[in-house]
Structure 1
Amino acid sequence: MSTDTHVSNRWSSRYAYILAATGAAVGLGNIWKFPYIMGENGGGAFVFVYLICVLLIGIPVMMAEVVIGKRGRSTPANAVAHVATEAGHSSHWSIIGTMGVLAGFLILSFYIVIAGWAAAYVFYAGSGEFSSAAADPATNAEAIGTLFGNLVSSVPQLLVWTTLTMTAVIYVISKGVKGGLETAVTYLMPALLVLLVAIMTYSAVVGDFAAAFSFMFDIDFSKLTIEGVLVALGHAFFTLSLASGIMMVYGAYLPDGVSIAKTSIMIAIADTMVALIAGLAIYPIVFAHGLEPSAGPGLLFQSLPIAFGSMPMGDVVGTVFFVMIVFAAFTSAIALLEATAAYLEERQGMPRVKAAITAGIAIWICSLGTVFSLAGTEWAQINFGFMGSNIFDMLDYLTANILMPLGGLLISVFVGWIMKTEVIKEEFNLAQWQFTTVMVLLRWVAPLGILFVFANSVGLLDVIK
Structure 2
Amino acid sequence: MNNRSSLHGYWSSRFSFILAVAGSAVGLGNIWKFPYIAGVNGGGAFVLVYLLCVFLIGLPILVSEILIGRMGRRNPVASMRHLSLESSSLPYWQYVGLAGVLSGILILSFYSVIAGWSLSYIFKSFSHSFIDSTSTLQNPIINNVESIFDNLINDWKIMLFWHTLFLYMTFCVVARGIKGGLEKAIRVLMPLLILLLIGLLFYSIFNGDFIESVYFMFAPKFSELTASGVLIALGHAFFTLSVGMGAIMAYGAYLPSDLSIGKISIAVVFADTLIAIIAGLVIFSVVFANGLDPEQGPGLIFVSLPMAFGSMPFLGNWLGGGFFAGIFFCLLSLAAWTSAISLMEPAVAWLIEKFHIDRFKAALIIFLIIWFVGLGNVFSFNLLSEFTFLQGTIFDNLDYLTSNIMLPIGGLLIVIFAGWIIKEERLSMQLDKSKGFYFKLWLFLSKYIAPAAVLIIFVSSIGILSL
Q: Does 1:391 align with 2:394?
A: yes
SS where residue 366 of structure 2 aligns?
helix
CA–CA separation in structure 1 for the residues paired with 2:245 and 2:3: 20
Aligned-residue sequence identity (percent) comes to 46
Q: What is aligned with 2:172?
A: 171
Give yes or no for contact 2:404–2:462 (8 Å, CA) kept in 1. Answer: yes
Once the 2 structures are TM-superposed, how far is the Cα of residue 225 of structure 1 from its aligned partner? 2.4
Q: Does 1:415 align with 2:410?
A: no
Once the 2 structures are TM-superposed, how far is the Cα of residue 376 of structure 1 from its aligned partner? 4.9
2:105 partner amino acid: F
Ranges of 4+ aligned residues in structure 1 off by more than 4 Å? 2-5, 133-137, 139-142
1:415-454 deviations in Å (ceiling 9; x for gaps): 1111100111111127511111111111111111111111
- Judging changes above 3 Å, is the alpha-carbon distance between structure 1 residues 246 and 133 closer, same or farther for their aligned structure 2 residues? farther
1:409 partner amino acid: L
CA–CA separation in structure 2 for the residues paired with 1:376 and 1:133: 33
CA–CA separation in structure 2 for the residues paired with 1:301 and 1:64: 36
- Judging changes above 3 Å, is the alpha-carbon distance between structure 1 residues 296 and 43 closer, same or farther for their aligned structure 2 residues? farther
TM-score (norm 2): 0.94
1:287-308 deviations in Å (ceiling 9; x for gaps): 1111112355311111010011
Q: Does 1:459 align with 2:463?
A: yes
Q: Does 1:55 align with 2:62?
A: no
SS where residue 374 of structure 2 aligns?
helix
CA–CA separation in structure 2 for the residues paired with 1:150 and 1:403: 33
1:199-238, aligned counterparts within 5 Å?
A: 199-238=200-239
Q: What is aligned with 1:250?
A: 251
Q: What is aligned with 1:126?
A: 126
Give yes or no for contact 2:81–2:94 (8 Å, CA) kept in 1. Answer: yes
Once the 2 structures are TM-superposed, how far is the Cα of residue 236 of structure 1 from its aligned partner? 1.1
SS where residue 132 of structure 2 aligns?
helix
Q: What is aligned with 1:318?
A: 325
Give yes or no for contact 2:33–2:296 (8 Å, CA) kept in 1. Answer: no
1:118-176 deviations in Å (ceiling 9; x for gaps): 00000100111112289599x95751100011111210110011111111111111110
1:174-216 deviations in Å (ceiling 9; x for gaps): 1101000000000000000010011011101111111111111
CA–CA separation in structure 1 for the residues paired with 2:133 and 2:299: 17
2:185 partner amino acid: A
CA–CA separation in structure 1 for the residues paired with 2:296 and 2:88: 52
- Judging changes above 3 Å, is the alpha-carbon distance between structure 1 residues 22 and 296 closer, same or farther for their aligned structure 2 residues? closer
Q: What is aligned with 1:100?
A: 100
Structure 2 gap ranges (5+): 314-319
CA–CA separation in structure 1 for the residues paired with 2:350 and 2:118: 29
Give yes or no for contact 1:5–1:346 (8 Å, CA) kept in 2. Answer: no
Give yes or no for contact 1:43–1:215 (8 Å, CA) kept in 2. Answer: yes
Once the 2 structures are TM-superposed, how far is the Cα of residue 254 of structure 1 from its aligned partner? 0.4
Q: Does 1:382 align with 2:388?
A: yes
1:234-290 deviations in Å (ceiling 9; x for gaps): 111111110111111001000120101000110111011100010111111111111
- Judging changes above 3 Å, is the alpha-carbon distance between structure 1 residues 232 and 290 closer, same or farther for their aligned structure 2 residues? same
2:412 partner amino acid: L
Give yes or no for contact 1:173–1:334 (8 Å, CA) kept in 2. Answer: yes
1:128-147, aligned counterparts within 5 Å?
A: 128-132=128-132, 135=135, 140=141, 142-147=143-148
CA–CA separation in structure 2 for the residues paired with 1:244 and 1:148: 30
Give yes or no for contact 2:8–2:177 (8 Å, CA) kept in 1. Answer: no
Give yes or no for contact 1:39–1:294 (8 Å, CA) kept in 2. Answer: no
Q: Does 1:371 align with 2:378?
A: yes
2:398 partner amino acid: L
Once the 2 structures are TM-superposed, how far is the Cα of residue 8 of structure 1 from its aligned partner? 4.5
- Judging changes above 3 Å, is the alpha-carbon distance between structure 1 residues 133 and 82 closer, same or farther for their aligned structure 2 residues? farther
CA–CA separation in structure 2 for the residues paired with 1:182 and 1:233: 31
CA–CA separation in structure 2 for the residues paired with 1:8 and 1:377: 40
Q: What is aligned with 1:37?
A: 37
Once the 2 structures are TM-superposed, how far is the Cα of residue 76 of structure 1 from its aligned partner? 0.4
SS where residue 358 of structure 1 aligns?
helix
Structure 1 gap ranges (5+): none
Give yes or no for contact 2:380–2:395 (8 Å, CA) kept in 1. Answer: yes
2:225 partner amino acid: L
TM-score (norm 1): 0.95
Q: What is aligned with 2:317?
A: none
Give yes or no for contact 2:46–2:229 (8 Å, CA) kept in 1. Answer: yes
2:52 partner amino acid: I
Q: What is aligned with 2:84?
A: 84
Give yes or no for contact 1:134–1:310 (8 Å, CA) kept in 2. Answer: no
Q: Which deviates further from its counterpart, 126-135 or 177-186? A: 126-135
Give yes or no for contact 1:3–1:82 (8 Å, CA) kept in 2. Answer: no
CA–CA separation in structure 1 for the residues paired with 2:302 and 2:426: 47
1:15-30, aligned counterparts within 5 Å?
A: 15-30=15-30
CA–CA separation in structure 2 for the residues paired with 1:169 and 1:198: 25
Question: Cα RMSD (Å) of the superposition?
Answer: 1.9
CA–CA separation in structure 1 for the residues paired with 2:3 and 2:130: 53
CA–CA separation in structure 2 for the residues paired with 1:68 and 1:270: 22
Q: What is aligned with 1:198?
A: 199
Q: What is aligned with 2:454?
A: 450
Q: Which deviates further from its counterpart, 82-91 or 357-366? A: 82-91
Give yes or no for contact 2:118–2:329 (8 Å, CA) kept in 1. Answer: yes
2:334 partner amino acid: F
CA–CA separation in structure 1 for the residues paired with 2:323 and 2:7: 45
Once the 2 structures are TM-superposed, how far is the Cα of residue 46 of structure 1 from its aligned partner? 2.1
Give yes or no for contact 2:156–2:383 (8 Å, CA) kept in 1. Answer: no
SS where residue 168 of structure 1 aligns?
helix
User: What is the total number of aligned residue pairs between the two structures?
Assistant: 457
1:291-306, aligned counterparts within 5 Å?
A: 291-306=292-307
Q: What is aligned with 2:316?
A: none
- Judging changes above 3 Å, is the alpha-carbon distance between structure 1 residues 221 and 337 closer, same or farther for their aligned structure 2 residues? same
Once the 2 structures are TM-superposed, how far is the Cα of residue 342 of structure 1 from its aligned partner? 0.8
- Judging changes above 3 Å, is the alpha-carbon distance between structure 1 residues 136 and 415 closer, same or farther for their aligned structure 2 residues? farther
CA–CA separation in structure 2 for the residues paired with 1:8 and 1:363: 22
2:399 partner amino acid: D
Query: Which one has a larger percent helix, Structure 1 or Structure 2?
Result: 1
CA–CA separation in structure 2 for the residues paired with 1:57 and 1:285: 33
Give yes or no for contact 2:141–2:311 (8 Å, CA) kept in 1. Answer: no
Give yes or no for contact 1:195–1:320 (8 Å, CA) kept in 2. Answer: yes
1:383 partner amino acid: F
2:405 partner amino acid: I
